[in-house]
Amino acid sequence: MSNLKQKQNFNYGLEKIFPEAQDFLPLLGTDYVEMYVGNAKQAAHYYKTAFGFQSLAYAGLETGLTDRTSYVLVQDKIKLVLTTPMPNKNNQEIFDHIQKHGDGVKVVALWVEDAAKAWEETTKRGAKSFMEPTKESDENGEVVRSGIHTYGDTVHIFVERKNYNGLFLPKFVKWNSSHNPTDVGLRYIDHMVGNVGWNEMNVWSKFYNEVMGFANLITFDDKDISTKYTALMSKVMTNGNGRVKFPINEPAEGVKKSQIEEYLDFYNGPGIQHIAVATNNILETVKALTERGVEFLYVPGSYYDTVLDRVGEIDEDLADLKDLGILVDRDDEGYLLQIFTKPVTDRPTLFFEIIQRKVAQPFGKGNFKYLFYSRFLYTSDAAADALFVDLSVSRFSHE
């Protein structure tokens, strides 16, 4: 097995690295993620305090926006928008979204050179329009946005901002706050995972392939991602430069209810399951997050007994990884380190993944079964011991 020491952190550029992707849009990256939440002010305080985001911009009653209030947080290349509805007859959709789903992701905004062209290319291939190309301007220039529907109530907004020099978008002003904790080293959104219903994975992977020009990077079936009790299937879809990746999960048959089914039940339909954010130093990032109160899924200590046999020599000290519960997986060129938070909402729906890629493109196939076990522990503590006895280390090996 090759030595994986002294591998550099992977950085996605604009060059095409997945030739199978058609890339007729094309996408430059993730622009922002917008969540509809019950109390945006309190949610903003949480993501600043716990995850190290900084105040960037604000829109609300003081800026002439009467139907909603939005706070924009930033950390390196990540922009998170938290939106709460105000009493207004024009925003029932936001109220309905929160009542149906709880706090959750509504918008995955994608950065493009030409928002009108992106809308035309996708709608002519069958996408349902959410927002026709619309120009928005202020003293800082002009932004063009358009949008399409995707699975569930989730939408993609295409954002063209080459003629705009403002903080975020027109109608937003600088958000001045005395509370700006230091960041924790989060750099960019690596991928965002969507959960869809039974027999819908192929429908939506086909959508991303034919409507948005994505390629299928990798496929996991129920043999790859399963325990005796629960299972799922997944297809990872990516654009050509790899900056935008959407794994699509669907339930698979098991003795107990699939974790994807659990999500669909509590979220009341398909939606974004988790946001994976990249760091250059996962040890320092996870230490900082833990100190700030972020809780992570438990990983059995026996996982680390064989991890080097599966992965080979790496830069990080195994004892440090074990102390923090960080998982490791590899491909032919490098390795990745990853860890998953517990749900960050009261419903067991949305969570975050922290990931560090050391010249590696895999999605932690060798770790999925341990993630399943950890999720089972989180939701079913009483059965955890009995389940773990049944799960031998060999069944978690990287195939």
- Looking at the predicted structure, is the pLDDT value of residue 237 above 50? yes
Least confident window among 55-69, 210-224, 242-256, 368-382: 368-382
Of the candidates 109, 112, 129, 111, which has an alpha carbon nearest to the alpha carbon of residue 120? 129
Of the candidates 106, 379, 78, 124, which has an alpha carbon nearest to the alpha carbon of residue 243? 78
pLDDT recorded at residue 146: 98
pLDDT recorded at residue 94: 96
- Looking at the predicted structure, is the pLDDT value of residue 90 above 90? no
Query: Where exactly are the structural domains of the chain?
Result: 27-174, 186-396
Q: Are 274 and 193 in contact (CB under 8 A)?
A: yes
Distance, CA of 63 to CA of 121 (rounded, Å): 34
The single residue listed with the structure tokens 């050391």 is 358
| Alpha-carbon distances, residue 231 vs 114, 256, 258 (angstroms) | 40, 9, 6
pLDDT recorded at residue 134: 98
Q: Are 200 and 270 in contact (CB under 8 A)?
A: yes
Q: What is the mean pLDDT of residues 207-227?
A: 80
Q: Are 123 and 241 in contact (CB under 8 A)?
A: no
Q: What is the mean pLDDT of residues 142-155?
A: 98
Of the candidates 289, 308, 306, which has an alpha carbon nearest to the alpha carbon of residue 297? 289
Distance, CA of 24 to CA of 316 (rounded, Å): 40
The single residue listed with the structure tokens 């007729």 is 24
The single residue listed with the structure tokens 């020009």 is 213
Q: Which residues pair with 245 in a beta bridge?
A: 238
Distance, CA of 382 to CA of 341 (rounded, Å): 21
Distance, CA of 72 to CA of 82 (rounded, Å): 6
Each residue's pLDDT tens digit, 206-216: 999 999 999 99
Of the candidates 297, 225, 235, which has an alpha carbon nearest to the alpha carbon of residue 258? 225
Distance, CA of 210 to CA of 125 (rounded, Å): 7
Q: Which residues pair with 58 in a beta bridge?
A: 71, 173
- Looking at the predicted structure, is the pLDDT value of residue 226 above 90? no
Tokens of 386: 């009995």
Q: What is the mean pLDDT of residues 363-390?
A: 40
pLDDT recorded at residue 359: 73
Of the candidates 238, 311, 276, 336, which has an alpha carbon nearest to the alpha carbon of residue 27? 238
Q: Does domain 186-396 have CATH number 3.30.1330.60?
A: no
CA dihedral 377→378→382→388, nearest 10 degrees, is 0
Each residue's pLDDT tens digit, 288-329: 999 999 999 888 888 888 888 888 889 999 999 999 999 998
Q: What percent of the chain has pLDDT over 90?
A: 70
pTM: 0.89
Strand positions, DSSP E, 19-126: 27-36, 54-59, 68-75, 78-85, 104-112
- Coil/strand/helix, residue 354: strand
Distance, CA of 399 to CA of 390 (rounded, Å): 19
Q: Between 333 and 159, whose confidence is greater?
A: 159
Of the candidates 112, 264, 274, 259, which has an alpha carbon nearest to the alpha carbon of residue 192? 274
Superfamily of the domain at 27-174 = 2,3-Dihydroxybiphenyl 1,2-Dioxygenase, domain 1 (3.10.180.10)
pLDDT recorded at residue 389: 26
- The enclosing H or E element of 262 equals helix 259-267
Q: What percent of the chain has pLDDT over 70?
A: 85
CB within 8 A of 133, min separation 6: which ones?
115, 116, 119, 144, 145, 146
Distance, CA of 41 to CA of 44 (rounded, Å): 5
